[in-house]
Structure 1
Amino acid sequence: MSLINTPIKPFKATAFHNGKFIDVSDADLKGKWSVVMFYPADFTFVCPTELEDLADHYEQFQKLGVEVYSVSTDTHFSHKAWHDTSPAIGKIKFPMIGDQNLSISTNFEILREGQGLADRGTFVIDPDGVIQLIEITSEGVGRSASELLRKVKAAQYIAAHPGEVCPAKWTEGEKTLAPSLDLVGKI
Structure 2
Amino acid sequence: MSLINTAVAPFQATAYHQGKFVPVTEENFKGKWSVVVFYPADFTFVCPTELGDLADHYDEFKRLGVEVYGVSTDTHFTHKAWHDTSDTIRKVQYPLVGDPNHQLARFFQVLITEGEDAGLALRGTFVIDPEGRIRTIEVHDNGIGRDATETLRRVKAAQYIAAHPGEVCPAKWSEGAQTLSPSLDLVGKI
Partner of 2:189: 186
Is 1:154 equivalent to 2:157 in the alignment? yes
Partner of 2:147: 144
Distance in 2 between residues matched to 1:55 and 1:139, nearest whole Å: 20
Q: Render the CA deviation track for 1:113-151: whole Å, top value 9, x for unaligned.
A: 141111100000000000000001101100000110011
TM-score (norm 2): 0.97
Partner of 1:42: 42
Give the counterpart of 1:171 among 174, 177, 189: 174
Distance in 2 between residues matched to 1:43 and 1:151, nearest whole Å: 28
Distance in 2 between residues matched to 1:107 and 1:147, nearest whole Å: 24
Partner of 2:135: 132
Distance in 1 between residues matched to 2:104 and 2:153, nearest whole Å: 25
Q: Render the CA deviation track for 1:49-87: whole Å, top value 9, x for unaligned.
A: 000000000000000000000000000000000001111
Poorly superposed stretches of 4+, deviation over 2 Å: none
Partner of 2:59: 59
Distance in 2 between residues matched to 1:11 and 1:106, nearest whole Å: 11
Structure 1: gaps spanning 5 or more residues: none
User: How much has 1:89 moved relative to structure 2?
Assistant: 0.5
Partner of 1:81: 81
Partner of 1:16: 16
Distance in 2 between residues matched to 1:56 and 1:41, nearest whole Å: 20
Is 1:94 equivalent to 2:106 in the alignment? no
> SS at 1:47's partner residue?
helix
User: How much has 1:107 moved relative to structure 2?
Assistant: 1.1
TM-score (norm 1): 0.99
**Higher deviation after alignment, 111-120 or 67-76:** 111-120
Paired residue type of 2:110: I
Paired residue type of 2:86: S
Identical-pair percentage: 68
Distance in 2 between residues matched to 1:163 and 1:119, nearest whole Å: 34
CA RMSD of aligned residues (A): 0.6
Distance in 2 between residues matched to 1:104 and 1:137, nearest whole Å: 17
Distance in 2 between residues matched to 1:99 and 1:12, nearest whole Å: 9
Paired residue type of 1:87: D
Partner of 2:105: 105
